[in-house]
Structure 1
Amino acid sequence: MAATATGQPSSEVGLVIASGGTYAKKLKPKTSQYQPIPLKPITYLHGEPQVIWEQEEVNQMIVNENLEYAVIGKFSYGWPDIQDLRKLIPKQCELKGDCNIGLLSNQHILIKATLLEDYIDLLSKPVFYITQNNWSYPMRTLKWDPLFNPKAETTTMIAWISFPSLPPNCFGTNIAFSLAAAVGKPLQIDMATKNQLDQVVQE
């Protein structure tokens, strides 16, 4: 089993894997639809007010806010204006689908991609260099989740793995995903494996 820092698969059967995560829907193609979240009552614990949502409701919030393929961009050494980033990132990161970009903190932006392919590509590279006026701003990408804390580094990442000498009868998506589940949550199989050659991809 192997992983590459560049996000490119090895010459063997490979998968992209990401450890961690609290919801499976985030890793599937967008088939979920908007459903309103009911108004929740205020309850009290030791005199402190609280609102409680079930995990399924949290998952639906993610769908409703188009956060299924959300990625965090971290700028440690300054960045262009947010309006400029909204134009620069889709082009310079070679995104194929639409995306929405907003501010999270003084170092972080939230990139809401609409395609699984863009989500994987954004997380597969260790750093992007966003260039403006002959100056490059390094941007690291991190996997977003509802518990993201801008003051703490995430422990979740995306990685390519490979299964050497995997027999052709194991190249099917469900079979490859079952094998990769031992490492993390599967995302997708690469084109070589889909074409029954010698490679696979997953998260």
Structure 2
Amino acid sequence: MKDKHKPPHTEPAMIQYASLLKSKTITPPVVAAKPVIMLHGEPSITWKASEVRSLIIKENLQYAIIGKFSYGKPDVTELRKAIPGQCGIKSECTIGVLDTRHILIRLTTMEDYVHLLSSSAFYIKAKESYWQMRTLKWDPWFEPDVETTIGIA
């Protein structure tokens, strides 16, 4: 005799690994086409300050910081593991490589942003060595080859 109150036997959901490995589609911000004008004989595009601010927010760069390594740096995977804990970052952050000496740290809160910029240098322990990292304020005109003139007050 079958028990009417007993649920039928169900198989556990099958994990489809192909769906786990699919790349997530990221929609880039829509930027309206700007007219090219000639300025001193050079083609140029002019941006309003409000447009630049809007793009910075869309790209999640309003709390972006440059990490500068003067004496080499470890692999970015090591930095992604070490920096949040060793630098006291409390919220979510993403870390990417800009060049051989600079990384870009995208923070999500003003508290972490102020905390990182308040220290003159951090010593990141990775691969049994310590790496000195100075933090600099990111701006849209950052040039890795030029020493920044922007100071934090």
| Superposition TM-score, scaled by structure 2 size | 0.75
CA contact (8 A) 1:74 1:140 kept: yes
CA distance in 2, matches of 1:47, 1:120: 42
Q: How does 1:40-189 map to 2 (within 5 A)?
A: 40-159=34-153
CA distance in 1, matches of 2:152, 2:41: 42
Contiguous gaps of at least 5 residues in structure 2: 1-28
Matched to 2:83, the amino acid is I
What is the CA deviation profile of residues 62-118 of structure 1, one whole-angstrom value per residue up to 9, with x for unaligned ones? 111101011100001111101221111111111011111111122111101001010
CA contact (8 A) 1:69 1:115 kept: yes
CA contact (8 A) 1:86 1:101 kept: yes
CA distance in 2, matches of 1:133, 1:58: 39
> Once superposed, what is the RMSD of the aligned Cα atoms?
1.9
Change (3 A) 1:158 1:49: closer
Change (3 A) 1:133 1:148: same
Contiguous gaps of at least 5 residues in structure 1: 1-34, 160-203
Matched to 1:124, the amino acid is S
Structure 1 runs of 4+ aligned residues shifted over 4 Å read none
Matched to 2:62, the amino acid is E
- Sequence identity (%): 53
CA contact (8 A) 2:66 2:138 kept: yes
How far 1:53 sits from its partner (Å)? 1.2
SS of the residue corresponding to residue 136 of structure 2 reads strand
| Superposition TM-score, scaled by structure 1 size | 0.57
Matched to 1:142, the amino acid is L
What is the CA deviation profile of residues 141-194 of structure 1, one whole-angstrom value per residue up to 9, with x for unaligned ones? 0111112122222232334xxxxxxxxxxxxxxxxxxxxxxxxxxxxxxxxxxx
CA contact (8 A) 2:72 2:100 kept: no
CA distance in 2, matches of 1:46, 1:77: 40
CA contact (8 A) 1:37 1:57 kept: no
How far 1:55 sits from its partner (Å)? 1.1
How far 1:46 sits from its partner (Å)? 4.9
CA distance in 1, matches of 2:142, 2:127: 32
Q: Which has the higher contact order (CA 8 A, sep 6+)?
A: 1
> Which range is displaced more, 110-119 or 80-89?
80-89
Which is higher, the Rg of structure 1 or of structure 2? 2
